[in-house]
Structure 1
Amino acid sequence: MITRLQTSERMSKIVKHNGTIYLCGQVGAGDSVAAQTADCLSRVDALLLEAGSDREHILQAIVWLSDMSDFTEMNAVWDAWVPQGHAPARACGEAKLARDVLKVEIIITAAEKLET
């Protein structure tokens, strides 16, 4: 069974299938890559909560930066956000993002938390 949440004509923000959660790419507001990363990760937290998961259940993250020179600054925010011992598989690359003001976009795949 596939469940789609926050769906529009173009996309769903959350898709759930067989205990796996797929989030659409998240971007954030702010002038710096640190501010955008923090805002983006806050949005990830909210979507994971809505989908029945959390940071400790992230399986994979794909990070796109508009400029790889922002890698260290983004990582400082990322490293503080990821729970110790729960780092997901991750890739990071440079890409032209949808709008010129965007510096970072993060795509998350996570597992649902099991009911206890």
Structure 2
Amino acid sequence: MLERHIRTPIMHRVVEHNGIVYVGGTTCDDESLDMAGQTREILAKIDGYLVEARTDKTKLLTATIFVTDLGKKPEMDAVWKAWIGPEDLPTRATVGVADLGGDTMIEVVVSAFK
């Protein structure tokens, strides 16, 4: 079974296939925020996307996080750990990138099961 949710001009934010929910790259709307603020906004958006697909963050399987400044990773990690309990941590990779456009510092991609 394939379901698509939240269509944008270039993609669907969420695609579900055989019980796995894939959430596309998510960035913040308010680029004036610091790393912690951008991370909080993104994780709140991801919470909503997962609800749309009838799942939640306790069912995350994996996360890939792209950041433009690895020196700010501790700020992101603090928000991440406050957002999800240690028993529900997915696999995760944090990747340093040169640019995410504008003043965006972080982009997050996750997958979850239902």
- Global fold match (TM > 0.5): yes
Who is 2:88 aligned against? 86
In structure 1, distance between residues paired with 2:34 and 2:46: 18
Task: Tell me the residue number matched to 2:22.
Answer: 22
**Runs of 4+ residues deviating >6 angstroms:** none
Identify the match of residue 104 of structure 1 among 103, 106, 111.
106
Greater Cα offset, 97-106 or 74-83? 97-106
- State the identity as a percent: 29
Contact persistence 1:55–1:83 (CA under 8 A)? no
CA distance in 1, matches of 2:83, 2:49: 15
Q: Distance in 1 between matches of 2:99 and 2:53?
A: 26
Moved more, 67-76 or 95-104: 95-104
In the alignment, which of 44, 47, 58 is matched to residue 46 of structure 2? 44
TM-score in terms of structure 2 length: 0.93
Cα deviation for residue 80 of structure 1 reads 0.6
The letter of the residue matching 1:68 is L
Question: CA RMSD of the aligned region, Å?
Answer: 1.1
Deviation at 1:7, TM superposition (A): 1.8
Report if aligned partners of 1:24, 1:107 keep a CA contact under 8 Å in 2: yes
Unaligned runs of 5+ in 2: none
